[in-house]
Amino acid sequence: MKLNLRNLCIGGALLTLATGALHAQTVLFGLGTAPVTGVPTTFIFDLATGEGTALGALGDNAAQPFGLARRPNNTLFTFDANTDRIRQINPATGAFTGTPLDIGVGNLSGEGDLAFSLDGNTGYLTTAFRPGQPVTGISPGLYTFTLAGTSTFVNTTLDSIGPITVDGIAFHPTNGLLYALTDADSRLYTLNPANGFLSPVGELGVVNNGGFGALAFNSSGGLFGVINNRLHTINTTTGAATVIGTGFGTDFGNTSGAAFGQVPEPSSALLVALGGLCILRRRR
- φ, ψ of residue 268 to 5 degrees: the values are -65, -40
The pLDDT assigned to 69 comes to 97
Residue 53 falls inside a structural domain: yes
Quick one: pLDDT at residue 136?
A: 53
Residue 33 CB neighbour total at 10 angstroms: 17
Q: Is position 279 within any domain? A: no
Quick one: which of 2, 9, 12, 24 has its CA closest to 279?
9
* Domain span holding position 121: 25-271
Q: Three-state SS across the chain?
A: CCCCHHHHHHHHHHHHHHHHCCCEEEEEEEEEECCCCCCEEEEEECCCCCCEEEEEECCCCCCCEEEEEECCCCCEEEEECCCCEEEEECCCCCCEEEEEECCCCCCCECCCEEEECCCCCCEEEEECECCCCCCCCCECEEEEEECCCEEEEEECCECCCCECCEEEEEECCCCCCEEEEECCCCEEEEECCCCCEEEEEEECCCCCCCCCEEEEECCCCCEEEEECCEEEEECCCCCCEEECCCCCCCCCEEEEEEEEEEEECHHHHHHHHHHHHCHHHHCC
**Series of mean pLDDT values for 10-residue runs along the chain (284 residues):** 40 39 81 93 95 96 95 96 96 97 88 94 92 65 96 94 93 97 90 97 88 92 94 97 84 92 66 39 40
Identify whether 283 is part of a domain. Answer: no
Whether 163 is in a domain gets the answer yes
Number of structural domains found in the chain: 1
Whether residue 20 is contained in a domain is answered as no
pLDDT of 271 reads 38
Asked if residue 276 belongs to a domain, the reply is no
Q: What is the pLDDT of residue 133?
A: 61
Q: What is the structure's pLDDT at 267?
A: 47
CATH assignment at residue 226: 2.120.10.80
180 domain-assigned: yes
198 found inside a domain: yes
How far is the C-alpha of 258 from the C-alpha of 28, rounded, in Å? 7
